[in-house]
Amino acid sequence: MFHQSLDWTVEMTTIPSTAAAIADAVRSGVLKATDVLEAHLARIAEREGEIHAFNLVTTDEARAAAARIDADVAAGRDPGVLAGVPIAIKDNMCTRGIATTCSSKILEGWRPPYDATVVQRLAAAGAVTIGKTNLDEFAMGSSTENSAFGVTYNPRDITRVSGGSSGGSAAAVAAGFSPISIGSDTGGSIRQPAALCGVVGVKPTYGTVSRYGLVAFASSLDQVGPFSTDVRDSALVLEAISGHDPMDSTSIPQGPLSLQGVLSQGVEGLRVGRITDMPGGADPDVTERLEAAFDALQAAGAIMVDVQMPSMKYGLTAYYLIAPAEASSNLARYDGVRYGMRVNAPDTNAMYSATRSAGFGDEVKRRIMLGTYALSAGYYDAYYGKALKVRRLISEDFDRAYTKADVLLTPTSPIVAFPVGAKSDDPLAMYLCDVYTIPTNLAGHPAMSVPFGTGAFGLPVGVQIMAPTLGEQTMFRVAASLERSMIASGGGR
């Protein structure tokens, strides 16, 4: 059934809907963090059974954290900019003493001995982790149908997918289970589910947010970012989790991003790029919303310019060689010896094979085999080597495009949320869902998806805003402008 709007339970009527407003109310003593938490737990109890956003709801730990925040407020201590805000964490980020599964059987029983840097920074800012969200196994997928623990359904229409791989995190925000959540994005895994669920999703510049404690899929592509119901909340969270981390060798040596101050600046004079040779395939309803976004930005004072990205059409091919190659290396550590599942066998090699056969799902096995083949002797130069050259071409095309434009706009997903099971037997059709999101991962640039109306079946459509390296401020200015135009038109956020 399609839910035109998400009505709060009685307990939610006094709770603000945004993270910024909740934090302000808790810090000022107007609301208690424990009351905010209980209202969200009630919401989870109401709808989680039909959505399955979570692998684990951390009720006891969340109640203890909320009580500490209330004690800090009572004692006159500032608990942080996210005080009392419930937050859902994708289940591929380490949480000390709390199961971290990557939605895979192979990590059965594993409880990390440390927190990911992002988890630490959220706790320091006063956020309350409410649970670990479902995902495509090891973040490999575009629909959250590849989880060992079942499908996550779209809160807007529970017959349809939530997108992937961070489908649980997107669904948690869309359903009102938490005002913000955290996901990871390797080829679109934040932006695509954000678009399908009708929320904001941000992939920052590679290296601005620490990957320490993020279970690796493809290390040169993975990045951590937020989901939220509005643009300001994403800016608030990204400020809290960004900044240099000595525990991550790829971390950019700079301070946290500064974003909230630019949201009201508008887009007067900004150059917005239209990619004239963008890969086709987007449904007409999605293209219509993209054109409406161009019109809205032009009406707000932005300048439309045409740019070319001739190598963009090769992004999908390059990605599905580079990412599986890195995955085959990263996932070699799951051998049944050190942690997680172990299937007993007569000798070590047999145990290793039996454990991986039983522990990994079909999509993970598919990508490991593809990556291992691409890296193998005799095929490295023909496949992996050429893919790296295409990656460089894509980066160079972006560099040329950004001499003419400050940001680029594309659809986030070529289609709205599709029915559960519709693409499960056709991996290529599933991979094509990421045709517009993958190029920025290959280049390491920031990009975000902003809800911009609805398309077929009344389902959300997201517009993707892309910017050059460390261009988050400009990107967020454009996002805020699009959000304001939607609110002014009566379309809401």
Residue with tokens 């500032």: 78
Sequential DSSP letters for 171-213: HHHHTTS-SEEEEEESSSTTHHHHHHHTSEEEEPPTTSB--TT
Closest Cα partner for 427 from 366, 373, 369? Answer: 366
Task: Measure the CA–CA gap between 124 and 121, rounded to whole angstroms.
Answer: 5
**How far from chain centre, in Å, is Cα 98?**
21
Residue with tokens 């407020």: 73
Statement: residue 255 has pLDDT above 50: yes
Task: Measure the CA–CA gap between 268 and 262, rounded to whole angstroms.
Answer: 13
What number of other Cβ atoms are within 10 A of residue 40's Cβ? Answer: 28
Statement: residue 439 has pLDDT above 80: yes
Residue 196: what are its φ and ψ, rounded to 5°? -70, -30
User: Which token pair is 437?
Assistant: 């999101």
Domain residue spans of the chain: 18-309+396-488, 312-392
Tens digit of pLDDT for each residue in 223-243?
999 999 999 999 999 999 999
Tens digit of pLDDT for each residue in 89-118?
999 999 999 999 999 999 999 999 999 999
Residue with tokens 């887009």: 267
Task: Measure the CA–CA gap between 243 and 469, rounded to whole angstroms.
Answer: 15
**How far from chain centre, in Å, is Cα 165?**
8
Q: Count CA atoms closer than 13 A to 354's CA, side-chain side.
A: 11
Specify the pLDDT at position 493.
56
From the options 3.90.1300.10, 3.40.50.300, 3.30.1490.190, 3.30.450.40, give the CATH code of 18-309+396-488: 3.90.1300.10
Compute the average pLDDT of residues 381-406.
97
**Would you name the residues annotated as active-site residues?**
90, 165, 189
Question: pTM for the full model?
Answer: 0.95
Compute the average pLDDT of residues 51-59.
98
Mean pLDDT across the chain: 95
Residue with tokens 């608030």: 236
Task: Measure the CA–CA gap between 203 and 169, rounded to whole angstroms.
Answer: 14
Amino acid (one-letter) located at 226: P
Amino acid (one-letter) located at 176: G
